[in-house]
Structures are given as structure tokens and as C-alpha cells.
Amino acid sequence: MTKRVSFLLVFLASQVAWAQETVRNVEERGTVEIAPTIKLGQVIVDNRLGNVTVVGHDSPKVTLTMLKRAPDQATLDRLKVDLILDPKGIVRVHSALMFGKEARPIPVAGVRIDIVVTVPRDSKVNVKVWNGLLSVRGLRSALRLSANDAKVTVTDVKGAISTSNARGEQRFNNIDGTVVAGNTFGDLRFDDIRGPSLTATVHRGRIEAKRVSSKKVKLRTTFGQISFQGQLVPGGRYDLRSHAGDVAVKFSASTPVHIEAFSRSGSVDSQLDVANQGRPSVGKMRVVYGRDRGRRAVLRVSSRSGNVSLGLMNE
Amino acid sequence: MKSMSCKQFDRLSQDMLDDELDAARISAVRGHLRTCLSCAQRFAETEALVESARELEALDPPPSLWDGIDARLAAEEVADSRRSPFWFWWQQVRRPATVGGLIAATAGAAFVLATLTHPTVSDDVPGKLPGELAVAAADDSVEPMSDSLQAASALESIESDYQNAIDELFVLVEDERSRWSPAALGVFQERMRSINDTLRLEGQRARLQPDNPVVHDALHGGYRDKLALLQQAVLAHDEWQ
């Protein structure tokens, strides 16, 4: 009997609390637009309180659209977003929760500010978020992103990109430029990457890179698999390493490729036609693939305890 | 809640050095140390004097272990330094008062239920609390502790993740370092020392504002540098050379 009463009390309390939470959740939308008379140098967005989306467009204007959410009106009133253009052409978007007169960008449960910024395509962009989603698309300039626990998506960018994230997946699609991406925990996925170099490091997570034609590629993961599909170009350097994960490479090449593959406690399997140049020994392989004429590409693949496999891409 | 004053700290710090404080008060004293540089300096000097007088030297924990523990304790200690005297008293009496506590909890649950069944949001002004509570809520200079602690907890969680990854890599490095040349080992140790120095400095700054992510950015950068160095060492794979 006592248990039934206790259960009923807990159930009633949770229902009332849920109903009040629903009633008290409030939000506010707003849009701000500026039309700078000077050329924009950089757009800096620092929003630790929610999602950020940055979209490049063909107008010189900068538009900020925000959606603020809070459990109650009083808290909503404490959420602030600033948009500042300084004389050097730097636009700063900054969000905070007010504590008295002090603005602090601290993430708090139940409080969110989601921001969408449209900027001229050639603006350099620097974004910091805490968690949630960080999405950038349509830019033609350099990009720097940092997050702690976010899903990062970068699409259709021509320019150098640098990202860092502690937890969460990162995806890159249709990129022309140098890419340096770092994760501690979470997968990294690349599709259609061109440009001088691609560097990706993750501690625990998988790296998947396909349709890559960058000239220098470095992929590193401590605990995770690496899957690479791409075109190896003359003079290119491709260095793929995992400590405890399989590394699978499929490539196409119009140039000879010097291949070094190694696994300490796993195997090295090759589907390449290297019969005339010696079959790979167990755990180790060193060959030149293709007619040894022209400038070589160098492909180095290794895993401490995983398997290494090499093959050609399907034409 | 008002923080511990320097005068209170002076009184308690000597007791702490004499090992006469309970865990809760020790935490509060440490919390004050993290927010008051002059007391921290004075205490460090006194502590060094006491340490040097002891016959047996204490073993230093490995830096990685200390960093991890330190980061995890920082938020709790700063919070403890803001607690009321009642809280410390409660820590001492709570075990004997278990039965009383259960009764109080039951009464508390009944109160919460009674409160929930009455509207806490006034009908005419959304978000405003009725009666006397409204006065307290309107004073927004009073920082809600829960907000600050939530942020500190989130930061602590991220820093704990970094530390876990670093600890994992250290284990792997230990397996690998026997294969390194003395020169490579020297380079590694030198770079590690430099990164640890940065981490210590940034860790001190971060502990002063455990709930402010901006202040923690540089600390996180230091963690990433350390991860990069360790991963580079682990993945050297020089067997194919």
C-alpha cells in the first residue's frame, strides 16, 4: 500500500512538473542586418549557448538571425546577443547569459541561443561553440571552428579550414583547400576533398575519407579505423596510421606509387598486381606500384595491432 | 552565498596544516586558496616550511594524475568555499541524524508536491514569482548557484575526457619508449615539460573561474597539444624505416 502511494505521489509530481515546464518554456526570435561600408576582414562568432550556422552569400550584408529559448521570461531576458562591427572590418557576434551586470557565455541546461549568420562569401570566419550543431557552407575564404561537444558540418567551402572538437562527429563535403581537422572522441568524415593538404587526427574515432585528391594527406587515429579512397597525384605524400584499428586504402593513380605498409601484430593484405615486384611479407610490404616512370607518389600505411589492406578503386 | 573571508581562512589553514580539519572544511579552505592569490601565496610559504620540517618526504604523484585530480576537485572546492556554516555543521551531524533526515525528506516531498499543485508563475506577469520570492528573483545580481555549477560541471566533464585520453596515451607511450633513441626521448621529454608548464599555468587561471568556458579555452588548447605530442609518439611506427 505504501509503495503504491509513493508511486502515485512521484507520478503526480512528475506530471505537474512536466506540465509547468511546458507552460514556462519561452522563446524569442530576432533578426539584425548590417550593411558594412568597409570590406569585411573577419566574422567572429562566439556562441557557447547553442547552435551556429554560417552561410556564405553574394551580398555584402551580414545578417544575424537568432532564436533564444529559456525556461521562463526572467531567464530569457538575461540572454544577450551582441553584433558589433569594428573599424577594422571585423564583425563580432557574441552571446552570453547575464549575471547582474556581468555577461558570461556559460552553457546552462534549459537555456539556448541558436544563431544563423549569413556573411559575404569571401569573409574569413572564426566560430566557437560549446555543443549542439556547428554548420558552415558556401564560403570562399578561410575558416576556423572550435567546439567542445558539437556535431560539425562543413560543406562547399573553398579555403583553408581548421577545426577542433573534443567530442562529436565532424563532416566535410566538397572542400577545396587545406584542411586540418582534430577530434578527441568522435568520427571524422571527408567526401570530395581537393587542395594542397588534408590532415585529420582523432584519438578515439573512425576516419573515413573518400573522393580525396589532396596532394598531402595525413590521417591519424589511436583507437579507430581508417578508410581512404582517393587519387594519388605525382609527388603526393599519403601517410595513414592507426594504433589499434584497421587501415583500408583504395586508390587510383596515373603515377608510380612507392608503397610502404606495416602492421606489427596484424596483417598486410594487398590486392594490387605487384607480382613482378615481390609479394608482401607478413606484416610488412615495400613496393613500387605502376610503371616506374615519372614522379612518384609515396603512400605509407601502418597499424600497430590492426590489419592493413591495399587495393584499387573501382573505375 | 558569501565566500570564506581571509580571516576565517587564517584560522582554519593552521588547523589544516595540523591535520585537524574534516574533509568538508579542507575543501572549503582549498576553495578559498583558489580564489585568493595573497592567501595562496602565504599558505604556500607556510606549507613549505611545515613540509621541510617533516622527516619523511612525501612522494610526488605523476603530473598527469595530479592534473586530473586537481581539475576534478577545483569546481567542488570553490563551491565548498561558498557554503554556509550550517552546511559544515550538517556534514558533521548528518550520520547520527539519519532517522531525522528521513522524516525531513518525507516532509520535504510533501512540501514540494503541495508547491507544485499551486501555480508558481503568476497569471498576469509571466516568469515572475509571487510574494516574497519575487523580490529575491528580481535581484539578478544574486547568481543562481545551479547555473554556475552546471557550467563548471560541463567544463569538468570535458577536461576529464581530455585527461582520460591523455592517460590512455601515456600507457601506450610507456610501451613504446623502450624503442626510442636517447635523442628522441630527450626531445619528447623537453616538449612534454614545456606543455606541462603551460597546462599548469592555464589550469591555475581556469580554476579561478571554473564556470567560464572562455577562460578554459587556453587550457583545452594545452590538452590538445599534449594529446598531439603523445599520439605522435605512439604512432611513430619506426619499424618500417
A242 CA: distance to closest CA in chain B (Å): 7
Amino acid at A66: M
A22 interaction partners in chain B (CB closer than 8 Å):
none
Q: What is the torsion angle, in degrees rounded to the nearest 10, for the CA atoms of residue B77, residue B81, residue B87 and residue B88?
A: 80
Asked if the interface predicted TM-score (ipTM) of this complex is over 0.85, the answer is: no
Q: Do B237 and A100 touch (CB under 8 A)?
A: no
Tell me whether residues B126 and A101 touch, CB distance under 8 A: no
The B residues from 201 to 220 touching A (CB cutoff 8 Å) are: 211-214, 217, 220
Say if residue B68's pLDDT is above 90.
no
B185 touches chain A (CB under 8 A): no
Q: Report which of A200, A154, A202 is spatially closest to residue A53, judged by C-alpha positions.
A: A154
A140, β-bridge pairs: none
DSSP string, B115-166: HHTS-SS-SSSTTPPPHHHHHHHH-TTS--HHHHHHHHHHHHHHHHHHHHHH
pTM: 0.70
Determine the distance in angstroms separating the CA of B168 from the nearest CA of chain A, rounded to an integer: 10
- Contacting residues for A241 by C-beta, under 8 A, at least 6 apart: A219, A220, A221, A226, A247, A300, A301, A302, A303, B235, B237
Q: How buried is A36 (Cβ within 10 angstroms: 0-12 exposed, 13-18 middle, 19+ buried)?
A: middle
Instruction: Give me A46's grid cell.
Output: 562566439
d(CA B227, CA B191): 12
Cβ of residue B120 closer than 8 Å to a chain A Cβ: yes
In the DSSP assignment, the letter for residue A282 is: T
pLDDT in tens, chain A (315 residues): 444 444 444 444 444 444 444 445 899 999 999 998 888 889 999 999 999 999 999 999 999 999 999 999 999 999 999 999 998 899 999 999 888 877 878 777 788 999 999 999 999 999 999 988 999 999 999 999 999 999 999 999 999 999 999 999 999 999 999 999 999 999 999 999 999 999 999 999 999 999 999 999 999 999 999 999 999 999 999 999 999 999 999 999 888 999 999 998 899 998 887 754 445 556 788 888 887 677 899 999 999 999 999 999 974
Where is mean pLDDT largest: A270-284, B61-75, B166-180? Answer: B166-180
Q: Which of A167-181, B34-48, B140-154, B216-230 has the lowest mean pLDDT?
A: B140-154
Confidence of residue B99 (pLDDT cuts 50, 70, 90): very low
**B224/A contact by beta carbon, under 8 A:** yes
* Whole-number Å distance between alpha carbons of B164 and A122: 39
Q: Which of A23, A109, A262 sits opposite B240 (nearest CB)?
A: A262
The answer to whether B143 contacts A100, with C-beta atoms less than 8 Å apart, is yes
In this prediction, what percent of chain B has a pLDDT beyond 70? 53
pLDDT of residue B120 exceeding 70: no
**Which of B147, B164, B234 is best to mutate for the A interface (most A CBs within 10 A)?**
B147
- Chain B CB within 8 Å of residue A199 CB: no
Closest Cα to residue A61, out of A83, A79, A46, A28? A83
| B17 φ/ψ sector (left φ>0, alpha ψ -120 to 50, else beta) | alpha
Mean pLDDT lowest among A170-174, B210-214, B217-221, B229-233: B210-214
Examine the pLDDT at B115 and tell me if it is beyond 50: no
Distance from C-alpha of A162 to C-alpha of A36, rounded to nearest angstrom? 26
